[in-house]
Amino acid sequence: MKQHILVFIATMVLSASLISQNVIDGVLSEIEKNNTTLIAFRKHAEAEKIGNKTGIYLDNPEIEFHYLWGDPSSLGNRIDFSFSQTFDFPTVYKYQNQISDIRNQQVELEFRKQHRDILLQVKYFCFDLVYINALKAEILTRLDYAQQISTSIQSKFAIGETNILEYNKAQLNLLNLRKELESLEIERDVVLSELTRLNGGNPVDFYDGYIQSSIIPADFEQWYIAAEQSNPLLGWLKQETDISKNQEKLNRALSLPKLKAGYMSEKILNDKLQGVSLGISIPLWENKNTVKYAGAQTIALQGVEADRKLQFYNQLKALHTKAVDLQYTAIDYRQNLKKYDNTQLVKKALDKGEITLIEYILELSIYYESINNLLLLELELNKTLAQLYKYL
């Protein structure tokens, strides 16, 4: 029932959130193009792909030439020429190519992981700005109220209708709000500078004030299947296991005899001999235990893969539960704050003299603290959802 309510409410506010989401998507798109770390990662990935394609081809051919002087000279001179090529068993090249292809896929997965880590960091900064902008809008409203009160108290103080204590309280209240606004501006500049850094030194414009949270998937198990398939770390581990399995096959193939074929000619005086040469290597000791080692590696990697899958599942399950609870709390909090908003009532009571200025400030401080708590709650919700959707 709780999840149905969340989905219904979230669907209603989805259109309102699209504008804010478009702002964040624009920042993400810009940083994807300009981030120097991602550019360096991409160049490194391309270099690694080339490296993975080395050492998987035939051995270099061998060419030999011999010129021998006869002694005595009546024997004549001897000229030898030979050309040979060594071949591994054909399946060696097959498995080497397969391992090379999988390693290149791993390079791409590693890049995707680094890419998503940076974009998650960008999202965090964007949500910080959303929070700061929303709080700034609240502070500006409070500052407007405080300015009105200060002007009113100042007028009353001038004609003797209030004392210096009330006047000072009004001024301090106004001062505190102004300094709070200045602190928010400093904090906003710091976050914008971080985004500028991530954007390759290019300034980022971000003027959005509020964002509704994304829809949380109701069926976690079905959603998790897609998340698991999109997780580059799990994909990398699966491919590492595949590499180990192929390494077992490769080591078996390397344990088979190597072949050597070529051409050879020999010339002495007017006699010339020529023909083909064939050779074979007998693998007795060179690759001892390599197959056994690769098999043990495969078993170990399968255990690591299973462990990481379990950890990933439990991590996302915890994040999903946290997000559902946070969204339910945030929606309930915002609805009740609208219901119990007494800002206009306490101002009227102050204007009529029914309450003192200190009572007015105390009443508003309770409401203002609740608003601040709500904004922090929504910030935590958005960052939790960013983690939850990191691999989708």
Least confident of 51-60, 138-147, 191-200, 376-385: 51-60
Least confident of 123-132, 137-146, 261-270, 284-293: 284-293
Best mean pLDDT range from 86-95, 97-106, 186-195: 186-195
pLDDT score for 10: 38
pLDDT score for 203: 92
* Geometric angle at alpha carbon 159, from 153 and 160, rounded to 5°: 80
Q: Which two tokens stand for residue 155?
A: 């007028």
Question: In DSSP terms, which residues pair with 267 in a beta bridge?
Answer: 79, 272
- Average pLDDT value for the chain: 83
Query: What is the DSSP pairing of strand 271-281 with strand 258-268?
Result: antiparallel
CB atoms near residue 36 (< 10 Å)? 12
- Look up the pTM and report it: 0.81
Helix axes 2-34, 164-198, angle to 10 degrees: 60
What average pLDDT does range 53-80 have in this prediction? 80
What average pLDDT does range 65-82 have in this prediction? 79
Distance of CA 147 to the CA centre of its chain: 45
pLDDT score for 216: 76
* Geometric angle at alpha carbon 22, from 16 and 24, rounded to 5°: 115
Least confident of 36-45, 246-255, 334-343: 246-255
pLDDT score for 45: 92
Whether the per-residue pLDDT at 64 is higher than 50: the answer is yes
Spatial CA neighbour of 353 closest among 152, 147, 188, 198: 152
pLDDT, tens digit, 9 for 90 and up, residues 163-190:
888 889 889 989 999 999 999 999 999 9
Whether the per-residue pLDDT at 41 is higher than 90: the answer is yes
Distance between CA atoms of residues 334 and 49, nearest Å? 52
Whether the per-residue pLDDT at 77 is higher than 60: the answer is yes
Higher pLDDT, 193 or 94: 193
Length of the chain: 392
Whether the per-residue pLDDT at 391 is higher than 90: the answer is no
pLDDT score for 159: 87
Tell me the domains of the chain and their CATH numbers.
Answer: 2-62+89-130+194-259+288-388 (1.20.1600.10)
Whether the per-residue pLDDT at 8 is higher than 50: the answer is no
Least confident of 24-33, 128-137, 204-213, 276-285: 204-213
Whether the per-residue pLDDT at 246 is higher than 60: the answer is yes
What average pLDDT does range 112-138 have in this prediction? 92
Distance between CA atoms of residues 382 and 323, nearest Å? 9
Least confident of 308-312, 354-358, 383-387: 354-358
> Residue 212: pLDDT band by 50, 70, 90 thresholds?
low
Whether the per-residue pLDDT at 328 is higher than 70: the answer is yes
3-state secondary structure the chain: CHHHHHHHHHHHHHHHHHHHHHHHHHHHHHHHHHCHHHHHHHHHHHHHHHHHCCCCCCCCCEEEEEEECCCCHHHCCEEEEEEEEEECCHHHHHHHHHHHHHHHHHHHHHHHHHHHHHHHHHHHHHHHHHHHHHHHHHHHHHHHHHHHHHHHHHHHHHCCCCCHHHHHHHHHHHHHHHHHHHHHHHHHHHHHHHHHHHCCCCCCCCCCCCCCCCCCCCCHHHHHHHHHHHCHHHHHHHHHHHHHHHHHHHHHHHCCCEEEEEEEEEEECCEEEEEEEEEEECCCCCCCCHHHHHHHHHHHHHHHHHHHHHHHHHHHHHHHHHHHHHHHHHHHHHHHHHHCCCHHHHHHHHHCCCCCHHHHHHHHHHHHHHHHHHHHHHHHHHHHHHHHCCCC
